[in-house]
Amino acid sequence: MAPLLLHNTMWITEGHLDGFRAAVERGVAFVAEHWRLSDPYIAEVREHCAVESLEMYGEPEEDVVGDVAFLSDT
């Protein structure tokens, strides 16, 4: 199977900026929690492989990234 990258552009509906911001904050909190819960499983996978490359667009905040030292293990 080939990798799939989705990229879209969205407009925030007029009058919905505050609701949009709140929804994004909830989404980011969920993803950070998902990463925390999935870390033991991902660590097990990393025992059997090495990251060849990783492309990241933008600068994530430290509390979102956490400990990603494994990325420099290659």
Mean pLDDT on 9-29: 93
The confidence score (pLDDT) of residue 64 equals 61
Continuous H helices in 1-74: 17-46, 62-65
Residue 72, pLDDT score: 47
Residue 6 tokens, joined: 């989705």
Q: For residue 34, give the nearest of 44, 26, 46 by alpha carbon.
A: 26
Within 13 A of 25's CA, how many CA atoms are on the CB side?
6
SS3 68: coil
